[in-house]
Amino acid sequence: MSVLPVIVVFGLSFPPIFFEIIVSLLLFWLVRRLLLPVGLYDFVWHPALFNTALYCCLFYLVSRLFV
């Protein structure tokens, strides 16, 4: 018996982190879509670095909710 739970969808087994990545990616797209019209990216020095940090923060929050 495995210690880590596995989620089976249509006969394929996925680790729980897979769904956390998908949920955090959807949240990232939503937050980014909301921040673009506001003009926050005009004040950001490195947009790619900001996007990476934003995704990491969202992934951490989602992973804490799943635990």
Distances 40 to 24, 26, 30, 58, 59 between C-alpha atoms, Å:
20, 20, 15, 17, 21
Q: Are 20 and 56 spatial neighbours (Cβ–Cβ below 8 Å)?
A: no
DSSP state of 43: S
Residue 53: pLDDT band with limits 50, 70, 90: very high
Enumerate the domain spans of the chain.
19-66
What pLDDT does residue 66 have? 76
Residue of 19, 34, 32, 28 whose CA lies nearest to 56? 28
β-sheet bridge partners, residue 12: 9
Q: Is pTM, for the whole model, over 0.95?
A: no
What pLDDT does residue 9 have? 86
